Amino acid sequence: MGVGNMYAKGMILYNSKAGQNDIQHDIGVAVGILSEKIEELTIVKGSKPGDLERISYERGEEVDILFVMGGDGTVHECVNGLARLTNSPLVAILPNGTCNDFARSLQLPLTVAEACVVALRRNKKIVDIGFVNGRVFTNFVGIGLITKVSENIDEGMKEVTGSLSYLLSALKSAKEADPFQYNLKTASEHLEGEAVMIVAMNGHYIGTTELPFEDMYLDDGKLNVFIVKEGGMSIFLEWLQRKNPFIQEVENENIVMMKTSTLKIQTDDKMLVDTDGEIYLKTPLNIGVSSKPLTFITDL
């Protein structure tokens, strides 16, 4: 781990295709700050899908700290490589995406310069990692409305409006939400019925907005699960727009909330699944908390 307060080896990993900001400018800023405290700093880019996962897996054990520059999708890909390692490095997110929801859950600053300064303070936290159908996720896995939101985000608008595009897409998708039949099992419960969205949260944020609950933790070995029925859709959207996130919630029969370490979800028809904003899996789902957590830089 180097000498004194220095890291011996570090790597900045980024996706050359991702991000709404000037990635080269951010790399220059990061190198200028980090090089003073890291003896050997390497910069590696991925250019096609799968590159970051492969590089994280093949080279992750070579470094003491891995700086992931990008948004939630970039973090998702890198973590899927790191989760397969025996000895994963410390992970520092340098936010460069639209929502940066997992970075927000770690209470990291949302500029690369400030995130680099925080990383050099060495404040770290062992964090739960979720799994779903042989893959892993940091922030959430969901079906229904949440998948439509990701599909409906206009990339051109995303460049201009940033996180606002998520909320605009959510409002558009809400009008198009299709109810589906689900069968959900945990170790202690069996629920079935009709919903417009099911989401299992490891992080605290969706579309830059903190969900309004105080018992959401990154290290409790559990996921917060929300089953939103058609009548609860407007309530969930209200949460996403709320200025004060921690107003006491009243129970509502149209939104079921639970905490669990494992769950299985089946749907009558195969459905696309959103994992950290990436859509490539389909139901049925086997979801839980991995037995191998990762250690992240945090500003908690």
What's the start-to-end Cα distance of the chain, in Å?
23
List the beta strands (DSSP E) in 187-245: 190-195, 197-201, 205-206, 209-210, 223-228
User: If we measure between CA atoms, which residue out of 229, 235, 221, 141 comes closest to residue 187?
Assistant: 221
Confidence class for position 210, pLDDT limits 50, 70, 90: confident
Q: Are strands 294-297 and 124-127 parallel, antiparallel or unpaired?
A: antiparallel
Helix (H, G, I), strand (E, B) or coil at 297: strand
Active site residue 278: yes
| Mean pLDDT, rounded, for 84-92 | 97
Task: Give buried/exposed letters for 23-37 (b at 16+ CB in 10 A, else e).
Answer: beebbebbeebbeeb
Enumerate the β-bridge partners of residue 198: 143, 227
Separation CA 229–CA 24 (nearest Å): 44
User: If we measure between CA atoms, which residue out of 102, 90, 65 comes closest to residue 205?
Assistant: 102
| Residues in contact with 64: Cβ distance below 8 Å, sequence separation at least 6, in sequence order | 1, 2, 7, 8, 9, 10, 89, 90
Residue-level pLDDT at 206: 85
Instruction: Catalytic residue, from 40, 114, 230, 278: name it.
Output: 278
* Position 207 pLDDT exceeds 90: no
Neighbours of 245 (CB within 10 A): 15
Percent of the chain at pLDDT > 90 equals 67
Confidence class for position 17, pLDDT limits 50, 70, 90: confident
Lowest-pLDDT range, 105-114, 146-155, 168-177? 168-177
